[in-house]
A = this chain, B = another copy of it.
Amino acid sequence: MGFTDIAHWARQIRSGDLRALARAATAIENRAPSATDLLKELFPHTGRAAVIGITGAPGAGKSTLADQIARLCRARSRQVGILSVDPSSPFSGGAILGDRIRMQGHYADPGVFIRSMATRGWLGGLARAATDMTLLLDAAGRDVILIETVGVGQAEVEIARLAAVTLLVLVPGMGDDVQAIKAGIMEIADVFVINKADHPGADRLEREIRASLSLSMRPDAWMPPIVHTVASEGKGVEEVLDCAMRYLETSSRDPRRGVKLWSLRLREMLRERLLESVPPERIEALAQAVAARRDDPYTAVERLLASVKNA
């Protein structure tokens, strides 16, 4: 595809053409070379959207919250993009679609663009694809972009950190789980959401979060607010969105924040590009030698490193 075609495609996307947008999303998913050319062209026109990451335990109500935030944004005449990032089966590469079905309430509204994304193999690539998709939606004039992840593992935390503001959704009565989540991801939350706050234990959970916050050391001066919601009824959703927007406004005044975000994103993109440069057959041949104890894994990795550098 020539430069003029790319420039034309980019203009269509920026003018809000939905078919051009959908074609670009598919190009990103398929890792088409044209996707990178297009994103280079679009990049100068990004940086306007509010990019909100939503993470938390399975069953905490993240999809419902994303859905309600989208509704609220639409009521305020804002254009919305939703990226649902799913874990996948390491063998089959499949994704969960159950939760996604709820999103179909927006199906007929062109003001909400929804895309589900699944992990491609265990070495990742999802973080880069999520960044690409976010930039695309940003350039396409989506005012608010929601990135919803399914689990609370390291990979999901990484995706959530690529957003400009991260919501952590918890529910009362999780017991030991809260402890486990705490150590892993409490510190990435810019806004805490206690969903299903009409269930017993919401106040206790809030106290636990406060106690944990008092120990944490954020590099900025922001004190993450704690919002109670009943997302299924839309309760508290407006406050969540307002808190997220307030954080974005505050952090946009700190130039270090943007640099930090881009450092994370660049490292993730680099990681993926590096691994793509090693042919799987080469790794398998060395794995055979190691499995047979003809070679040791440390020497094998040194050989692989040399072949990356000569690629």
Chain B, residue nearest A159 (CB): B154
- A side interface size, CB within 8 A: 92
Is A301 at the interface (CB under 8 A from chain B)? yes
Supposing A259-B288, A298-B36 touch, asked if A266 and B88 sit within 8 A by C-beta, the answer is no
Within the complex, the shortest CB–CB distance from A9 to chain B, in Å, comes to: 16
- Cβ–Cβ < 8 Å partners of A44 in chain B: 293, 296
Pick from B43, B155, B156: contact of A297, CB under 8 Å = B43
Pick from B153, B177, B180, B275: contact of A267, CB under 8 Å = B275
Compute how far the CA of A286 lies from the CA of B94 in the bound complex, rounded to whole angstroms.
Answer: 35
Pick from B135, B181, B269, B286: contact of A266, CB under 8 Å = B286
- Cβ–Cβ < 8 Å partners of A273 in chain B: 301, 305
Chain B, residue nearest A86 (CB): B183
Chain B, residue nearest A280 (CB): B263
A154-171 interface with B by 8 A CB criterion: 154-158, 161
Enumerate the 4 nearest inter-chain pairs by beta-carbon distance, A residue then B residue, closest first: A153-B153, A154-B155, A58-B180, A258-B291
Compute how far the CA of A297 lies from the CA of B273 in the bound complex, rounded to whole angstroms.
Answer: 13
Chain A residues in the interface with B (C-beta under 8 A): 36, 39-40, 43-44, 46-47, 57-59, 86-92, 94-96, 98, 119, 122-124, 131, 135, 150-158, 161, 175-177, 179-181, 183-188, 216-219, 255, 258-267, 269-271, 273-275, 278, 280, 283-284, 286-288, 290-291, 293, 296-301, 304-305, 308-311
Pick from B40, B185, B262: contact of A299, CB under 8 Å = B40
Chain B, residue nearest A43 (CB): B296
Chain B, residue nearest A296 (CB): B43
Determine whether the beta carbon of B154 is less than 8 Å from that of A58: no
- Cβ–Cβ < 8 Å partners of A267 in chain B: 123, 275, 278, 283
Determine whether the beta carbon of A175 is less than 8 Å from that of B291: no
Chain B, residue nearest A293 (CB): B44
| A–B complex contacts, Cβ < 8 Å, 11 sampled | A58-B181, A59-B175, A87-B154, A90-B188, A151-B184, A258-B291, A262-B286, A263-B283, A270-B275, A274-B275, A274-B308
Compute how far the CA of A117 lies from the CA of B301 in the bound complex, rounded to whole angstroms.
Answer: 22
